[in-house]
Chains A and B, each alone.
Chain A
């Protein structure tokens, strides 16, 4: 087992914002081509801010900690700010990740960005409520 930082262990054992959002404004799913894992992010947007962020993750300890950290970093941010979250900034917030676990931090940021992009696309389409 890789040696994880205390921060990683904390987010792994007590992940924040686990779950799904009913009628989300955006959903982003990202698969990991390396080990086959998966993350899904759900967002709720209000006045251009991420009012709520939730996630589900199928993956290793680092992947779970990363999703939890991304959700915490993103919540309350404007969409522009949230788009600036990078795998590196997530890994830094987690006080580092073992080398072979860096790819797990890509997943988190990418899944979140996908959710935001999905939301923006829907907005462009005329903002009509396609309440699914």
Chain B
């Protein structure tokens, strides 16, 4: 049976070149980058080279890049660290309603510490209006955090325009670029953001490593106390093999970005077009065009996402869902609800995130496997029965 992995947002596979680059640091070159002897030198040089590769990916300079353990950690450090460092100036932060939980929950923690948090709404496509950001700014606002793109619905935010607003008001702007860095171009200098989070496993690097870029001059309070690794902004011995992998993945992402984007958007557009053609009562979630290249997301009416996911998985197709039943907390996706979808529709959430290994044949397989799966679940669904009866009655 064909195996089709379409859950690259959960984690993309590790590229063989990246693994190769990491291997020496899982072997002979095991030193601690902080050590002053030869063993330390090898590790340190590799780590600094990686810092350069990651900086290049986002058009930053190297001494502003903090390595972390994940995108989640980068977001925590950015939100808490940048806000705390400025609390003498003010205690108000602004985030969007559809941020990743690592941003939203960090903001919630700030609220427990006496900050106020404003949430900017999104439109039905999941897009933030820069004017809404402007309206939420106050004299005591010290930080705005709006993601570059949402991993659940794929919508890309106008972060350049938002940055123009925050610059004018001299407020720091952090963007969670975990879904975009290494996937679509971003240049922090051109865009004008002040801090940016990224994670390696989103672009074919290893898990357990991310980075936070912070503009020079912006003060940040570390979350971890200890040694003075990463210029004192993140204590703890660095994960050298993973950092080397991150660097290599960044280099490859930059080199192949245009061709990867072209391939992925071609495959994505097939799904966005053909899934609703083949299956009735399906809505595309997120922006129809302004979205991540490999990202196709839908809500299939009258059925629930986990059961869809499980049946597809039995056909060796890996996808994900934002349905309440798939979430550990049994809550509907905050992203879909913020976009104005009903809980019932949100239950049918299904998400395909395409990777560079996927082919047109993979899409063919998905497009032929999915309709019978949906049909089967609809035959079981009391909501569908009710709907068909009602529409028959109406005729």
Contact = CB atoms under 8 A, between A and B. Distances in A.
Contacts of A36: 324, 332, 343-344, 347
Contacts of A59: 304, 307, 325
Nearest to A36: B343
A58 B302 contact: yes
A60 B379 contact: no
Interface in A31-67: 34-40, 56-61, 63-64
Interface in B300-333: 302-304, 306-307, 309-311, 313-314, 323-326, 328, 330-332
B385 A20 contact: yes
B224 interface: no
B310 A12 contact: yes
A115 B55 CA distance: 64
Interface string B351-383: 000000000000000000000000000011111
A29 interface: yes
A21 to B, nearest CB: 12
A13 interface: yes
Interface residues on B, range: 20 to 34
A15 interface: yes
A61 B303 contact: no
A56 B385 contact: yes
A130 interface: no
Q: Which of B325, B344, B347 has the most CB of A within 10 A?
A: B325
Contacts of A34: 324, 330
Interface residues of A, number: 24
Interface string A9-21: 0001101001010
A37 B313 CA distance: 21
B325 A60 contact: yes
**Mostly helix, strand, loop or mixed at chain A's interface?**
mixed
Contacts of A29: 382
A63 B326 CA distance: 12
30 contacts: A1-B306, A1-B310, A1-B313, A1-B326, A12-B310, A13-B311, A15-B380, A18-B379, A20-B385, A34-B330, A35-B325, A35-B330, A35-B332, A36-B324, A36-B332, A36-B347, A38-B382, A40-B382, A56-B382, A57-B381, A57-B382, A60-B306, A60-B307, A60-B323, A60-B325, A61-B310, A63-B304, A63-B325, A64-B307, A64-B380
Interface of B: 302-304, 306-307, 309-311, 313-314, 323-326, 328, 330-332, 343-344, 347, 379-385
Given A18-B380, A35-B325, 5 more contacts: A1-B313, A13-B314, A57-B381, A57-B382, A58-B384
